[in-house]
Amino acid sequence: MANARRSGFRRLGVDLTDRSTIMQVMTPSADTQTRILESARELIHARSYADVGVTAICEHAGVNKGSFYHFFPSKRDLTIAVLDTYYLEMKEQLLDRAFSSDIPPLQRLERLAVLIYEFQKEVADRAGHILGCPFGNLAVELSTQDEPIRRKVAEIFARLRADIRQTLEEAVETGAVQGIDVGATAEAMLAYFEGVMLMAKTRNDPDVLRQLLPALAQIRIAHPGD
Amino acid sequence: MANARRSGFRRLGVDLTDRSTIMQVMTPSADTQTRILESARELIHARSYADVGVTAICEHAGVNKGSFYHFFPSKRDLTIAVLDTYYLEMKEQLLDRAFSSDIPPLQRLERLAVLIYEFQKEVADRAGHILGCPFGNLAVELSTQDEPIRRKVAEIFARLRADIRQTLEEAVETGAVQGIDVGATAEAMLAYFEGVMLMAKTRNDPDVLRQLLPALAQIRIAHPGD
DNA sequence: TTGATAGTTGACCGGTCGGTCAAGTTATTG
DNA sequence: CAATAACTTGACCGACCGGTCAACTATCAA
């Protein structure tokens, strides 16, 4: 997104002369931009890329179509920006919480499983449907059609894999596991996670997550030299 | 598909009076119907449900739009029929081959992994892209939008799970594994399979399959009483 | 041969798609 | 204050969407 724009204030229905309520980050335009982003985030996750038109995104954001194309050159570019916001949220809400060093590495993976379950359950209660993983959803729908979006998801998957891998490396250091290919195991765990989300979405049943997600921490791929 | 139609012959550029070339199954209309089905199968797997229009399916099948709606009440119904043909092909080409009893149960799962790799690799070479699992693709794209299609995929997944489960039960009987929840383990294996396909599609790299699929046979979910 | 049925044809429908644009308003800068 | 840049507005574009339809042809049984 490269948020080069700054300066300016943002009204939130409060007295602008009260300096304490000033939020420096968002200009009025960034506000519109943000509303478009959040609208798209919500709608695309709940439905699909193809099913959500630019018009619908604008209506839901309370913005005119012209404004949309003032901030985003295309629906594709918007989607790539949306993917970044998805990752940011996942990082803050799930990864950082699960992977803090207060418990042993493998237990952190189990905690991640619990957090994901709770998160998906909550979203499902709101949306009336299990929505699955926003990355996996877009990857499946668009990988064969839109190369930049495919690459973006692949990039995010690589980051997630790196996070899991680091946790696995700690597990190896502490002796909790041995003889595993940490890279391949991290990838396998990510794949398993995506598959479980897919199954839960298809069955539209959060219990699938409760039943299957804990096994995430038990997946192992042996070191090539074995 | 409930092929209630019969009778009539089919010309293949051969003399109709030659009784030996008669194919009783396909009427001229069933031929059109089949062409539509195969066209849709190909295009939807290679692209996506939303990206492939009825017009494109008809053009690729060499059929007029009116004929399409003579045989299928809607694009959705066509897709549900397509899902059945996908399953049939998977059953014949992969499941039946992998699960024959000439080798121990767990080895059959490993053989399935190899067959899937080879199949996907071949499709990818033709299409220029890893296309992933046709069931997973449609489930992810449409589960929140189209309930009948979601149910159809869920039904097929249930069949696949039952096939895997049966193999696992044999493995339990022969003592190759013990203390596992066969139902949950079968579901987990299916989920892992779907996840691996998703990753391979996203990375557009068949090596992902070679690296991750073999671990399918090692997934275990412990029996609830443990 | 006749009447019915099955299948085919392609023009046509209203609606939506992603995207454009010229004109207008608002905010910022010097 | 004037000039300029940032942003907003909504009408508009051609293309395509899933689906309909009335007219036509081929096939079939009696």
Backbone angles phi, psi at A183, to 5 degrees: -65, -50
Separation between the CA of A65 and the C1’ of D10 (whole angstroms): 8
Provide CB contacts within 8 A for B199, sequence distance 6+.
Answer: A157, A187, A190, A191, A194, B208, B212
**C-alpha span between B49 and A50 (Å, rounded):** 9
Instruction: Work out the average pLDDT over B19-28.
Output: 31
Separation between the CA of B66 and the C1’ of D21 (whole angstroms): 9
Say if residues B206 and B200 touch (Cβ distance below 8 Å): yes
Tokens at A109, concatenated: 């993976």
Residues 4-43 of B with CB under 7 A from strand D: 7-9, 27-28
**C-alpha span between A208 and B158 (Å, rounded):** 13
Neighbours of A166 (CB within 10 A): 14
Structure confidence at residue A10 as a pLDDT band (50, 70, 90) = very low
Structure confidence at residue B26 as a pLDDT band (50, 70, 90) = very low
**C-alpha span between B87 and B1 (Å, rounded):** 13
Return mean pLDDT, chain A: 87
Closest nt to residue A29, judged CA to C1': D7
Say yes or no to pLDDT of B18 above 60.
Answer: no
Instruction: Work out the average pLDDT over B174-184.
Output: 96
**C-alpha span between A190 and B28 (Å, rounded):** 48
Alpha-helical segments (H) within B51-133: 54-61, 65-71, 75-90, 96-98, 105-127
Q: What is the DSSP string of B183-207?
A: HHHHHHHHHHHHHHHHHHHHHT-TH
**C-alpha span between A51 and B187 (Å, rounded):** 29
Q: What is the pLDDT of residue A224?
A: 75
Q: What is the pLDDT of residue B224?
A: 75
Q: Which of A97-106, A182-191, B8-17, B178-187 has the lowest mean pLDDT?
A: B8-17
The domains of chain A, with CATH numbers, are: 1-72 (1.10.10.60), 75-218 (1.10.357.10)
Tokens 């839901």 locate to A60
Neighbours of B55 (CB within 10 A): 10
Q: What is the pLDDT of residue B226?
A: 55
**C-alpha span between A71 and A32 (Å, rounded):** 9
Q: Closest Cα partner for A199 from A216, A212, A190?
A: A212
Provide CB contacts within 8 A for A19, sequence distance 6+.
Answer: none
* A42 part of contact set with chain B, CB < 8 Å: no
What number of residues does chain B have? 226
- Counting residues of chain B whose pLDDT is more than 70, the rounded percentage is 86
Q: What is the DSSP string of B149-171?
A: HHHHHHHHHHHHHHHHHHHHHHH
Query: How far B69 CA sits from the closest chain A CA (Å)?
Result: 23
Say yes or no to pLDDT of B47 above 60.
Answer: yes
pLDDT tens profile B53-110:
999 999 999 999 999 999 999 999 999 999 999 999 999 999 999 999 999 999 999 9
pLDDT tens profile A53-81:
999 999 999 999 999 999 999 999 999 99
Taking the mean position of all CA atoms in its chain, how far away is CA B3? 20
Provide CB contacts within 8 A for B54, sequence distance 6+.
Answer: B65, B68, B75
Give strand C nucleotides closer than 7 A to any protein Cβ: 6-12, 16-23, 27-29
Could you give the maximum distance between any two Cα atoms of chain B, in Å? 70
Say if residues B134 and B94 touch (Cβ distance below 8 Å): no
- Counting residues of chain A whose pLDDT is more than 90, the rounded percentage is 85
Dihedral, A150, A155, A159, A164 alpha carbons, nearest 10: 40
**C-alpha span between B162 and B180 (Å, rounded):** 15
Structure confidence at residue B2 as a pLDDT band (50, 70, 90) = very low
Instruction: Work out the average pLDDT over B36-43.
Output: 97
Q: What is the pLDDT of residue B28?
A: 46
More confidently predicted of A44 and A7: A44
A48 touches strand C (CB under 7 A): no
Say yes or no to pLDDT of B17 above 70.
Answer: no
Q: What is the pLDDT of residue A22?
A: 27
Return mean pLDDT, chain B: 88
Task: Supply the angle between the helices A134-142 and A147-173 in degrees, to the nearest 10.
Answer: 140
Tokens at B101, concatenated: 């009893």
Closest nt to residue A28, judged CA to C1': D7
Give the number of C-alpha atoms closer than 13 A to the C-alpha of residue B142, restricted to the C-beta side.
Answer: 25
Q: What is the pLDDT of residue A30?
A: 61
B192–A198 C-beta distance less than 8 A:
no
Structure confidence at residue B7 as a pLDDT band (50, 70, 90) = very low
pLDDT tens profile A109-137:
999 999 999 999 999 999 999 999 999 99
* B199 part of contact set with chain A, CB < 8 Å: yes
Q: What is the pLDDT of residue B81?
A: 97
pLDDT tens profile B124-178:
999 999 999 999 999 999 999 999 999 999 999 999 999 999 999 999 999 999 9
Alpha-helical segments (H) within A91-174: 96-98, 105-127, 134-142, 147-173
State the amino acid at position A16 in one-letter form: L
Separation between the CA of A157 and the C1’ of D6 (whole angstroms): 36
Structure confidence at residue A226 as a pLDDT band (50, 70, 90) = low
Provide CB contacts within 8 A for B106, sequence distance 6+.
Answer: B171, B176, B177, B217
Q: Nearest by CB to A48, which of B50, B132, B221?
A: B50
Closest nt to residue A67, judged CA to C1': D8
Chain A residues within an 8 Å CB radius of B110: none
**C-alpha span between B183 and B161 (Å, rounded):** 8
Say if residues A135 and A156 touch (Cβ distance below 8 Å): yes
